[in-house]
């Protein structure tokens, strides 16, 4: 079967499994919204400051909880499932890209709903063009985090403390994405243009894609 047929099938099944389990939308997302609620209470800060820090808190929670979304499939992956795909002739690169597509879609939905919740709860003063900037940033952030999550899942396959280890790997490597995403809104507020930050995220995504696809086969060998 063609690379893209396999890729789409892997993504389709991932999303179907997610719909059955509902981890992202029924558990991780409400958890992230509770964190949005608890954050200002714990810090005891004033309303004006809350409005100002809303977008930054959003991206911080986006990366912390987004990692759970990015890693969910890798964490539940078993040796038997990997063997099933390997013996069905699935190209490891197709598996990688399929996972990114499904992870990216889920992450995008997660971020957009969380952003909406942040706007309602924190009431930030968003400049014109915020929503389209938000869409672009979320898309690039989602793809990048899905790539990182999939790669981290692959390199930690079969290891004892996989979940914690994979999170530790993803968090610092996601820094360019967090900086790019949060600074793009800041830049919009200052009127200095978002291109630099969008390019930062796009280059990060592209680099991760090339690394992931290029190393998919050797990585599969290394994890056996």
Q: What is the DSSP letter of 177?
A: H
Query: Smallest distance from the beta carbon of 12 to another protein, in angstroms?
Result: 8
Q: Write out the two tokens for 223.
A: 């994890």
Q: Which helix (H) or strand (E) holds 82?
A: helix 79-87
Q: Which is nearer to another protein, 24 or 204 (CB)?
A: 24
Q: Which is nearer to another protein, 36 or 208 (CB)?
A: 36
Query: Smallest distance from the beta carbon of 7 to another protein, in angstroms?
Result: 11
Contacts of 140 (CB under 8 A, 6+ apart): 177, 180, 181, 198, 201, 202, 205
Q: Which is nearer to another protein, 117 or 200 (CB)?
A: 117
Alpha-carbon distance 54 to 216, whole Å?
38
Q: DSSP 3-state assignment of 1?
A: coil
Nearest to 148, CA basis, from 92, 73, 91, 77: 73
Q: Which is nearer to another protein, 191 or 221 (CB)?
A: 221
Q: Which is nearer to another protein, 159 or 203 (CB)?
A: 159
Query: Smallest distance from the beta carbon of 66 to another protein, in angstroms?
Result: 19
Query: Smallest distance from the beta carbon of 20 to another protein, in angstroms?
Result: 5
Q: Which is nearer to another protein, 67 or 117 (CB)?
A: 117
Q: Which residues bind to another protein, rule: CB under 8 A?
A: 1, 5-6, 9, 13, 16-17, 20-22, 26-27, 30, 33-34, 37, 40-41, 47, 50, 78, 80-81, 83-91, 120-123, 217, 221, 224
Contacts of 177 (CB under 8 A, 6+ apart): 63, 140, 141, 144, 145, 201, 204
Query: Smallest distance from the beta carbon of 146 to another protein, in angstroms?
Result: 19
Query: Smallest distance from the beta carbon of 215 to another protein, in angstroms?
Result: 14
Hey, how many other C-beta atoms are within 10 angstroms of the C-beta on 185? 24
């Amino acid at each position: 079967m063609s690379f893209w047929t396999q890729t789409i099938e892997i993504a389709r099944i991932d999303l179907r499994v997610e719909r059955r389990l509902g981890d992202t939308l029924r558990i991780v997302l409400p958890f992230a919204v509770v964190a949005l609620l608890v954050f200002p209470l714990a810090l005891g800060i004033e309303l004006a400051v809350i409005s100002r820090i809303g977008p930054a808190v959003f991206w911080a929670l986006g990366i912390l909880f987004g990692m759970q979304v990015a890693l969910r499939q890798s964490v539940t992956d078993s040796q038997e499932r990997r063997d099933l795909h390997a013996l069905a002739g699935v190209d490891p690169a197709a598996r990688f890209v399929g996972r990114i597509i499904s992870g990216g879609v889920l992450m995008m939905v997660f971020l957009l709903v969380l952003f909406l919740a942040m706007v309602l709860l924190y009431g930030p003063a968003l400049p014109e063009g915020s929503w389209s900037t938000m869409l672009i940033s979320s898309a690039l952030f989602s793809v990048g985090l899905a790539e990182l999550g999939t790669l981290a899942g692959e390199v930690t396959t079969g290891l004892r403390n996989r979940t914690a280890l994979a999170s530790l790997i993803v968090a610092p490597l996601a820094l360019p994405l967090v900086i790019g995403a949060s600074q793009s809104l800041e830049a919009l507020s200052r009127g200095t243009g978002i291109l630099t930050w969008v390019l930062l995220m796009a280059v990060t995504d592209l680099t991760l894609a090339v690394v992931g696809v290029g190393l998919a086969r050797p990585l599969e060998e290394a994890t056996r």
